[in-house]
Structure 1
Amino acid sequence: MLKDVKCRCTCAGATVWVTGRSPADRRAAAYAMAERLAAEGRRVQVLDRFDGSGARTERTGVTAEVLARNGIVAIVPCATAGAVTVRARHEASGTRYVEMSVTGKDAPQESAAMVKALLIGGVDHQP
C-alpha cells in the first residue's frame, strides 16, 4: 500500500469513447481533449491503435476501464462498433464513461470543451 499521499491519485478517472465520421476526426478530437486535460494536471492516455474489430474493441474497453478506475482519463477514438459492450461493462463496474460523437468542422475543439465540462461536473453522458 502506498503511504506517500503525493503518490495517490485523487482525481476521478473516466473513459471517453470518441466516435464520429472519420478516423482522422476522431483522433484529432482525442488528442485535443488529451492536451486540454493534461494542461490542467489530469492524467490522460489516448488509446488509438486498434482497428475496431470485436475482440480488440473489448480488450481496448477493458484497458480503458482499468485506467479509468485508477484515476486516468482514457480516451479511445474509434467507431461505434463495440461501444454497447464497453458501456455496459463500465456501468457494471461503476466506472465513469463518456461517449462523444465528432461531427462538424470544429468538432475536435468543441468535443474537448464538452468532455472537460462533463468531467469537471462529474456528469456522465451517454447517447
Structure 2
Amino acid sequence: MSASNGTPEKRPGGTVWLTGLPSAGKSTIAIGLAERLRADGHRVQVLDGDEVRAALSPDLGFSKEDRDTSVRRIGYVAELLAEHGVTVVVPVIAPYAMSREAVRDRHAARDVPYLEVHVATPVEVCADRDVKSLYARQAAGEISGLTGADDPYEVPVDPDLRIHTQHQTVEESVRNVRALLTARGLA
C-alpha cells in the first residue's frame, strides 16, 4: 500500500504479547499471525521467548527475579521495534502479572500500542502436547520450576483477548488475534 504521493504508507507498530503456559500454543499462533500480517504488507517481528532469552539473557536462570528480568528485556526490545512501525508478536510465558504489567506500563509511557493475549490452554492439554518434553521431564524429576506444574503462573485478570486453544483451530486463534488488531487500528 502507498500513500497518495507514492510513498509507502506508514503503519503504526505495536506489541502483541501472547502469554500462557508452556505448550499452550503461543508460538504456533505467533507464527501464523506473523505470516498473515506479512501477507497483508505489515512489517512484523516475532520475538520468541526461548530464542530471545538465549540471545539477550543467557546469564539468567529461572528464579522469579531472573524471569522478571528476562520478560522486561524482551518487552524493551518489543517496545523499540514497535516504536518504529513494526508489529511485534511476543510468544512468552511471562508467568508473573507484575512483569507483564511493567512491560505494558513502559509501552503506555511511550504511547506505544500494547495488547495482551492470554493463551488460556489448561495445563492438562499443555502436558498432552508437551512439544518440548518439559512436562514429562518434570514428572520424571529431571527438571523443576516448570511454570504451571511446580512453579506458579499468574493468570491475566483482564487481558485484551483470551484464547482457548483446546476449543478452536490455530487458524481460528489467528483470526481472533487479527480481529483484535483490526479493532484497535493496528492492522
TM over 0.5: yes
Query: 100, 106, 109: which is aligned to 2:117?
Result: 100
CA contact (8 A) 1:64 1:74 kept: yes
TM-superposed deviation, 1:107: 5.7
After superposition, the CA RMSD in angstroms is 2.4
TM-superposed deviation, 1:66: 1.0
TM (normalized to structure 1)?
A: 0.80
CA contact (8 A) 1:87 1:97 kept: yes
TM-superposed deviation, 1:54: 1.8
Please say which of residues 9-18 and 104-113 is displaced more in the overlay.
104-113
Gaps in structure 2 of 5+ consecutive residues: 1-5, 54-65, 122-164
Instruction: Report the AA paired with residue 95 of structure 1.
Output: V
Instruction: Report the AA paired with residue 29 of structure 2.
Output: A
Gaps in structure 1 of 5+ consecutive residues: none
Query: 37, 59, 82: which is aligned to 1:68?
Result: 82
Find the counterpart in structure 2 of residue 21 from structure 1. 21
Q: Number of matched residues?
A: 120
Indicate the structure (1 or 2) with the bigger Cα radius of gyration: 2
Q: Per residue, is there more strand in 1 or in 2?
A: 1
TM-superposed deviation, 1:122: 2.1
TM-superposed deviation, 1:24: 5.8
Question: Bigger relative contact order, structure 1 or 2, given CA contacts below 8 A and separation 6+?
Answer: 1
CA contact (8 A) 1:13 1:68 kept: yes
- 1:115 equivalent to 2:177? Answer yes
